[in-house]
């Protein structure tokens, strides 16, 4: 029986490269995969899933009006892969669950669990509530000399940590770092920044 999987991790935990590897493995076996990505995340181009190691694939863009279930109902596939599910609406996650339950197609969702305020995203909360299986993709704290597991996302602007404000501001290493709880609440910004004032990494 097909399942709805949620694989979450902090930033730089290799979520996208794992998704792209799964897609490659399906295609190597002559099977079809359908990829989806949120419209809000256009860091690598709209409708593009890319890893920081340079591998990329095209994907269907999901915006507020997209009905993923209807797309898949008329376009059979062997597996559905979702990138950055935290940016999806709860209704989109429900549509993914229907794809599993009614079309018997496995769905693997990848994304963050919490934002820089340590709050759930709408999509990640729905994924936790409805997934059949939840798996953590682990990475370590970005703070130099710390080997603890990263469990938080630290946002820094103008050299200072930010703990409140708008939930979504799409960015990468220039804005966010994955850190442990200690360095979330007590960050050493100087050690996380390089000589030009940008995050290491």
Residues with a catalytic annotation lie at 84
SS (H, E, C) the chain: CCCEEEEEECCCCCHHHHHHHHHHHHHHCCCCEEEEEECCCCCCCCCEEECCCCCEEECEEECCCCCHHHHHHCCCCCEEEECCHHHCCHHHHHHHHHHHHHHCCCEEEEECCECCCCCECHHHHHHHHHCCEEEEECCECCCCCCCCECCEEEEEECCEEECCCCCCCCCCCCCEEEECHHHHHCCCHHHHECCCCCECC
Are the C-beta atoms of 82 and 124 separated by less than 8 Å?
no
């Amino acid at each position: 029986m097909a399942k709805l999987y949620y694989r979450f991790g902090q930033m730089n935990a290799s979520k996208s490269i794992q998704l792209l590897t799964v897609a490659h493995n399906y295609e190597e076996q002559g099977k079809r995969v359908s990829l989806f990505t949120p419209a809000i995340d256009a860091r690598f181009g709209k409708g593009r899933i890319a890893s920081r190691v340079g591998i990329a694939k095209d994907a269907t863009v999901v915006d507020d009006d997209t009905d993923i279930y209807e797309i898949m109902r008329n376009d059979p596939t062997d597996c559905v892969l979702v990138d950055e599910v935290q940016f999806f609406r709860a209704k989109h996650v429900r549509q993914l669950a229907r794809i599993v339950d009614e079309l018997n197609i496995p769905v693997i969702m990848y994304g963050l669990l919490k934002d820089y305020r340590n709050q759930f995203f709408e999509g990640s909360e729905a994924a936790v509530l409805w997934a059949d299986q939840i798996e953590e993709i682990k990475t370590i704290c970005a703070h130099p000399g710390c080997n603890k597991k990263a469990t938080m996302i630290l946002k820094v602007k103008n050299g200072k940590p930010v703990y409140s404000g708008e939930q979504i501001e799409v960015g990468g290493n220039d804005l966010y770092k994955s850190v442990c709880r200690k360095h979330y609440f007590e960050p050493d910004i100087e050690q996380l920044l390089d000589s030009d004032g940008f995050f290491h990494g």
